[in-house]
Structure 1
Amino acid sequence: MHSDVRRGAVLCTLLTLAQAFYIPGYSIKTYRDGEPIPLFVNKVYSDNSELQYAYTELPFTCPPTGRIRTGRFTSGTSISLNLGQVLRGDRITVSDYELAMGSDDEARYLCSHTIDADGLKRSKQLIREGYMAEWIVDNLPGATSFQTLDKSRKYYAAGFKIGEEVPSPHGGESTYFLNNHVTLVIRYHQAPGKDGAKGKKVIVGFEVFPKSISASNRTEDGLPANIQDASLGMALVPASNSTGEMDVSEAADLTIPYTYSVYFREEAKLEWQNRWDMYFVAQDDSSNVHWLAIINSLVISGLLTAVVAVILTRTVRGDIKGFKDGGLDEVKINPKRTRKPKSPRRSGDENGLLEQLGDLDGDGDITSDEETLDDITGWKLIHGDVFRPPARGELLAPLVGSGTQLLFMATGLLILSAFGVLNPSFRGGYISVGAGLFVTAGLFSGYFSSRVYKIFGGKVWRSNVLVTASLVPGLLFATVFVLNLFVWMQASSTALPFGTLVALVALWLFIQLPLVYIGGWYGYNMAGSWSHPIKANAIPRQIPAHSWYFKDFQTILLAGFVPFAVIFVELMFVFQSLWVDKSGYYYVFGFMGAVSVILAVTVVEVTINYHWWWRSFLVGGSSSVWIFAYLVWYFFTNLHVTGFVSSLLFFCHGFLACALYGLLTGTVGFLAAYAFVRRIYGSIKAD
């Protein structure tokens, strides 16, 4: 009785902790009335470009002065970032904006900033390309609020416009207005527990409403005479000649005043743990599409799996039964009754198939005269060839090893996401945790690669370990390094700092490589290769020609279309999140489950022959070819990305993602097919 009570108390405690856990490593941040709240500025991004820029480095922004101190933060201080944040282009800095919990401020002056002709040109370009700014308060990105079509719910779209382009009514040059005033709306809720009883509050929403206000008609404090009057915006026009056109030969300096308003509003219906729901209302509205796509995928894959399973089961069981009843039991290998062939070929048998059909154990001996071609038929004909080491096995082994490394990483990310450890509040968490899991999985990579390498008869296991450890990291680093040169020339925050590149190399050299070496040593020397139920023939068997759709290239493409055809609806939402919304907030884990089921179906449908090693790997990863083709189509039909560097980044990043996906799914296909082949041929082992 007492033990049950104790177990119940422990369970309740764990449930309470699980409910309170939201941001990894952080507790809920509460604020007293009047307590300062830091506002962080991050970067600007656009749907029309893959290049991002640090907000504080833009030509038209007020540089932080360092005179404002908000708690432990001083304005102008750069916040330490994790690896994921650096890779996604974040550059977070404490701003000069002053916010205090519960204190409204209708108008407040920030600064005046002067820009030259080059700054004006650059500012216009950013506005023309539709760049959005990302600010952060209490780990929430500043958002533009919208309402659903039926006006029943409000949702957030992260970011806000830095300016507006107004086309000329007479067909001339457009006028560009810079948003130099922002209205900040901080929505709060009473803090849970004892903090709420003390009057503390938590932030549950952060809305930004930008506005362009002319620099004229200002008070001595730099504030506009009428904060509500936006009829005259802050036009980026420095000087005009008598014709009203810009005179680029004159000094083109322009002084821009910046102001802001702050309002705090209570949101009684929104709890702190649900504050990110506002960013996903748009996705929730399409949840029926998500579930319909997933259910449709599961139904199709289930029917296909059932059909294939019935066919395989009846074929294999019938062949095994006939083989045991009338074939192998009567034609067991008997050294006393075997004879050596006089010639590798007989009259009427140019390929020597009859000798090979009699050579059940692969040692070159022929069984008794009772065995004929009818004794061994169907899939049993290639029993001596299915475990023959493939051509270029020294390359396949590292690919399989690297695929298991990616598989471990993907599984870990999926589990951590399902338990809420990885969530949108953990900024850069997916990339950072994924990199950690990938490096740790070097043990599995070396282990599986070395065992497969030994199956293929490899002798120099250290070289295999080096190739395995360098395959994926080398591909990623080489591509990122070359792309980084292009991005660095654009002065974009997407460019990785030199220190980050050095840290990545050190991570590979001192952690990843030793782990792969340890796993490879254990897999090759201690575990060894997997044993096979059938001994491979010395001479490859001649396989009759197949129909066109059974040939390697056609089979691989057709098989890869099956998983792609089922997941392409979800891919549309993924692409929209990554390249249209630019938020990266996509958390539909049913998609991952559907992909796993479809991949299993694809593996079951692999055509088995003596080339199955490479075929199973290529079929498993062939859907990546269709995904990349869909990505190219999506680029030209749905996106408005302009510029050579942006297009180069898009296609290179897409290629890397598809290559890693193909490597992972190809490994799943290889391992599943290997287990399947070992299983069915283990039933016909010769005595």
Structure 2
Amino acid sequence: MASSGTAHTFNNPAIFAEVLLKGLLGGLGVQSPDEELPWSRRIHCGFVLVYSLVSYFYSCSAFYLPGLAPVSFCAKDKGGEDCQTVIQLFVNRLDSVESVLPYEYDMFDFCKDEMETRPSENLGQVLFGERIESSPYKVNFLEEVKCKSLCTKSYKKGNKEDATKLDFLKMGMQLNYQHHWIIDNMPVTWCYDVEDDQKYCNPGFPVGCLVNQDGKPKDACVINAEFHKKNTFYVFNHVDIKISYHSGEAEGWRGARLVAATLEPKSINQADEKNPNCDGAIPMEVPGVFDSDVSIVYTYSVTFEENNAIKWASRWDYILVSMPHTNIQWFSIMNSLVIVLFLSGMVAMIMLRTLHKDIARYNQVDQVKALLHKASNDQGKILGALRGRTGGVRMEAGARGCFPAPRKGMLLSVFLGQGTQIFIMTFITLFLACLGFLSPANRGALMTCSVVLWVLLGTPAGYVSARLYKTFGGEKWKTNVLLTALLCPGIVFADFFLMNLILWVEGSSAAIPFGTLVAILALWFGISVPLTFLGAYFGFKKAAIEQPVRTNQIPRQIPEQSFFTKPVPGMSHQMYYMFGFLFLVFIILLITCSEATVLLCYFHLCAEDYHWWWRSFLTSGFTAVYLFIYSVHYFFSKLQIVGAASTFLYFGYTLIMVLIFFLFTGTIGFFACFWFVNKIYSVVKVKMGLYIL
């Protein structure tokens, strides 16, 4: 129980602020400027501080970080401004694992909404090719629907327009194109049982399926024994929608909140379109050869289920947990951590043992200096003796020969500037994603955040590129700034524009509209390029980075390298979808690239090879080559992509990712090695009089 004095303190903000300040000072052992607090009063103030903080945090209310507030739904007769009655069902683009070409819902001959509306989409949604629109499926909260007819699509034999529409629908079934529906900003999932009595929830469901000419069912046709006729397509023309909700009666808020939306697609041949029967067992068949009229009746049913066990904030869990690739691979993470610990141990051994001995030997130069005065004519013997006494990093390689300007310094500085921009963008994006701001519920936020951050981070790119280019002794600053602002983004945009042309020709929904392309160019040239020039201005105004030792004007000859300094390739892979673990893997990648580059750099310095500038960048940047090799392997072993356009698009987008990853990892390795080399030679007391070579 708090005392009356304590209660009075809480009621007076001024006194409470004073006590809080004094409690902080007392807890830290710092005296107040106007008086000395006795220990008893310090303890009392500390108690007040702890009590107030606990009370404050206990009374705090949580909020949903992505900024998407929950929507309450009520029955039709109980609706209001704070409680909706109509549940809108939106449809998104259709895509396929056998094709990289997504298509809008309207491209297929499905039932259309007469009052079609399209919600506004952000930049990320447009770049990802999302095309969300309203659907003809009408749903009211707690109003169940039983086998309601939506529309009928008829295809007449001999009609070219009907034949074209039906052929496109058959193509969608043959390539296993998937619907993607949205209710309350949540995907409508198709859940079904798989092996080991587990349930798999797919955030999409197929248009239909095919039984080929050999009588072998493909894709979803394997789930029903009635799908057995050769060279026949089966259309899923009926859906049973089940919506689960969390009631607010016991929670203190009005109405209910939707926590799950699932469906089950069915293929039903309706004998009477005016009186549909959704319990029929005869599937809706579309013959492979269009030799007779075809009529498809689309129907749907809706049921509701109260489920108070699922909270609104965790309604995505059942989707993420059921997907096989979202299971956290703890073994892979632990394996990566073991590798990091192994590399850290090697780096620590070098820093604490080998380099410590090297530095101790270098600092013995003062003892040898007296020998120079006695035997100035015998410098060769002395230098030979010094070479014999020094191990690890050689003196010649470690001092004047270790910091020559790299070849193609302009290109290296440009790559490092762009890599810095990508690294900061990636770090901030993943950090915000870990906090929940970029959750899947906030559609397109991840891509939008990445693009905006890349545009705004032109300043550090220009600064790093200019500062390093000046350190390398470069003088063509205008060329450096232009290349930093235009080279790598230009390559990415050219590749992206070429891919977009293919999407335009194919009529895909992933094709970026012309207005969006203009907006991207405006962001690039209107914001990113000027910011790059601004950063380069400050970079060139700064003095060049001072090296710990002076550099010989005449490059030394590099001895023949041992076999262990040659690169040895190795690769592994793992996919992560949850941002928290993705951020952990990002940190592991950062440490691994840094330590592996430092180790290889040290081994080359021991072998008197001073060409570490480009090697440090390429050592970790070569990870992008492994990424490309794995992408090729994944294409041929896992994917079922057919068609030249889809193949070209796959490798076109892969090259963009490989370039970005090359700059990203290369920059990590370079700055780790740059810090390492400067650190070890800044503590070595090199006497320049010894290097009369």
TM-score (norm 2): 0.82
Q: Secondary structure at the match of 1:52?
A: strand
How big is the shift at 1:426?
1.3
Measured in 2, the distance between the counterparts of 1:338 and 1:98 equals 100
Instruction: Note if 1:678 corresponds to 2:666.
Output: no
Q: Aligned partners of 1:263, 1:182: CA distance in 2, in Å?
A: 11
Aligned to 2:314: 274
Of 409, 414, 428, which aligns to 1:393? 409
Distance 2:316 2:529 in 1: 39
Alpha-carbon contact 1:442-1:519 (below 8 Å) kept: yes
Correspondence for 1:321: 360
One-letter identity of the residue aligned with 1:261: S
CA contact (8 A) 2:71 2:257 kept: yes
Work out whether residues 239 and 299 of structure 2, in 8 Å CA contact, stay in contact via their aligned partners in 1.
Answer: yes
Give the secondary-structure state (helix, strand or coil) at the position aligned to 1:98.
Answer: strand
Distance change (3 Å), C-alpha of 1:485 and 1:631: same
- Matched with 2:145 is 105
Correspondence for 2:181: 135
Aligned match for 1:600, one of 589, 594, 615: 594
Residues 1:188 and 2:233 aligned together: no
The aligned residue for residue 659 of structure 1 is: 659
Over 3 Å counting, the alpha-carbon distance change for 1:109 and 1:379 in structure 2 is same
1:482, distance to aligned residue in structure 2 (A): 0.5
The aligned residue for residue 529 of structure 1 is 544
Contact map agreement 2:209 2:233 (CA 8 A) in 1: yes
TM-aligned CA distance change 1:679 to 1:646, over 3 Å: same
Q: Is 1:81 aligned to residue 101 of structure 2? A: no
- Correspondence list, 1:34-433, <5 A: 34=76, 35-58=85-108, 60-66=109-115, 76-115=116-155, 116-147=162-193, 149=195, 151=197, 154-168=199-213, 174-191=231-248, 196-197=251-252, 199-219=254-274, 223-224=275-276, 226-231=277-282, 233-237=283-287, 246-247=290-291, 254-282=294-322, 287=327, 290-311=329-350, 313-325=352-364, 327=365, 329-331=367-369, 371-376=382-387, 377=390, 378-382=393-397, 383-433=399-449
Match of 2:554 among 516, 520, 539: 539
Contact 1:211 1:230 in 2 (8 A): no
Query: Superposition pairs for residues 521-670 of structure 1, below 5 Å?
Result: 521-525=537-541, 527-550=542-565, 554-555=566-567, 558=568, 561=570, 564-565=571-572, 568=573, 570=574, 573=575, 588-607=582-601, 608=605, 609-670=609-670
How far did 1:56 drift?
2.1
Aligned positions of 1:457-468 closer than 5 A: 457-468=473-484
- How far, CA to CA, are the matches of 1:445 and 1:588 in structure 2? 25
Between the aligned partners of 2:230 and 2:579, the Cα distance in structure 1 is 37
Match for residue 21 of structure 1? 64
Gaps of 5+ in 1: 67-75, 239-244, 340-365, 578-583
Alignment partners' CA distance in 2, 1:655 and 1:427: 25
Deviation at 1:148, TM superposition (A): 6.3
Deviation at 1:436, TM superposition (A): 1.2
The residue that corresponds to 2:499 in the other structure is 483
1: CA distance between counterparts of 2:70 and 2:416? 43
User: What's 1:73 paired with?
Assistant: none
Equivalent residue, structure 1, for 2:35: none
C-alpha spacing 1:199/1:446, structure 2 compared with 1 (3 Å)? same
Pairwise CA distance, 1:462: 2.8
1:379 Cα deviation (Å)? Answer: 2.3
Q: Is residue 434–residue 580 contact of structure 2 (8 Å, CA) maintained in 1?
A: no
Q: Retained in 1: the 8 A contact 2:269–2:280? A: no
C-alpha deviation, 1:400, in angstroms = 0.4
SS in 1 for 2:246: strand
In structure 2, the CA distance between the partners of 1:585 and 1:396, relative to structure 1 (3 Å rule), is closer
Q: Partners in 1 of 2:626 and 2:533 — Cα distance?
A: 35
Counterpart residue identity of residue 650, structure 2: F
- Deviation, 1:495, is 1.1
For the residues of structure 1 that align with 2:520 and 2:140, how far apart are their CA atoms? 40
Structure 2: runs of 5 or more not aligned? 1-5, 11-19, 21-48, 77-84, 156-161, 217-228, 689-693
Residues 198 and 451 of structure 1: CA distance in aligned 2, closer, same or farther (over 3 Å): closer
Contact 2:363 2:686 in 1 (8 A): no
The verdict on how the C-alpha distance between 1:45 and 1:585 changes in structure 2, with shifts beyond 3 A counting, is farther
Counting matched residue pairs gives 604
Query: 1:451–1:530: 8 Å Cα contact kept in structure 2?
Result: yes
Q: Distance in 2 between matches of 1:213 and 1:180?
A: 7
Give the letter for the 1:227 counterpart. Answer: C
Mark the CA change 1:506 to 1:418 in structure 2 (over 3 Å): closer, same or farther.
Answer: same
1:348 maps to which residue? none
* CA distance in structure 1 between the aligned counterparts of 2:270 and 2:102, rounded to whole angstroms: 28
Counterpart CA distance in 2 for 1:157 and 1:286 is 12
Cα displacement string for residues 415-458 of structure 1 (whole angstroms, at most 9, x for unaligned residues): 11221111111112211111111112111111111110100112
Equivalent runs, 1:447-466 vs 2, <5 Å: 447-466=463-482
Read off the aligned partner of 2:521 and give its amino acid letter: V
1:173 is displaced (CA, Å) by 5.7
Alpha-carbon offset, residue 591 of structure 1:
2.2
- After superposition, the C-alpha distances for 1:461-514 in whole angstroms (9 at most, x for unaligned) are 232122111133212211010011111111111111111111100000111111
* Deviations 1:530-551, CA, capped at 9 Å, x for gaps: 111111100001111112442x
Q: Which SS does the other structure have where 2:315 is aligned?
A: helix
> Alignment identity in percent?
33
Offset of 1:633 from its aligned partner? 1.1
Greater mean alpha carbon deviation, residues 603-612 or residues 97-106: 603-612
Q: Does structure 2 conserve the Cα–Cα contact (< 8 Å) formed by 1:44 and 1:133?
A: yes
Counterpart-to-counterpart distance in 2, 1:338 and 1:653: 67
1: CA distance, partners of 2:182 / 2:645: 28
Aligned residues of 1:166 and 1:175 also touching (Cα < 8 A) = yes
Question: Conserved in 2, the CA contact under 8 Å of 1:331 and 1:371?
Answer: no
Whole-Å separation in 2 of the counterparts to 1:198 and 1:25 = 19
- Counterpart amino acid of 2:243? I
Residue pair 1:143, 1:206 contacting (<8 A) in 2 also: yes
What letter corresponds to residue 126 of structure 1 in structure 2? Answer: G
Q: How far did 1:164 drift? A: 1.8
1:385/1:120 CA distance change after superposition, 3 Å: same
Q: Contact between 1:331 and 1:370, CA under 8 Å: does it hold in 2?
A: no
Aligned-pair CA distance for 1:371:
3.8
Rate the CA distance shift 1:395–1:500 in 2: closer, same or farther, 3 A.
same
Which deviations, in whole Å up to 9, do the C-alpha atoms of 1:122-143 show, x marking residues without a partner? Answer: 1111100111100100011111
Q: 1:498 aligns with which of 514, 531, 544?
A: 514
Which secondary structure does the structure 2 equivalent of 1:113 belong to?
Answer: strand
Shift of the 675–329 alpha-carbon distance from structure 1 to 2, 3 Å rule, reads: farther
- Scaled by the length of structure 1, the TM-score of the pair is 0.82
Whole-angstrom CA distance in 2 between matches of 1:462 and 1:338: 52
Report the counterpart of residue 71 of structure 1 in structure 2. none
What amino acid is the match of 1:166?
V
**SS of the residue aligned with 2:554?**
coil
Retained in 1: the 8 A contact 2:152–2:273?
no
Using the TM superposition, name which of 665-674 and 644-653 deviates more: 644-653
Give 1:329 deviation, angstroms: 5.0
Task: Please say if residues 333 and 367 of structure 1, whose CA atoms lie closer than 8 Å, have aligned partners that are also in contact.
Answer: no
What SS is found at the alignment partner of 1:96? strand
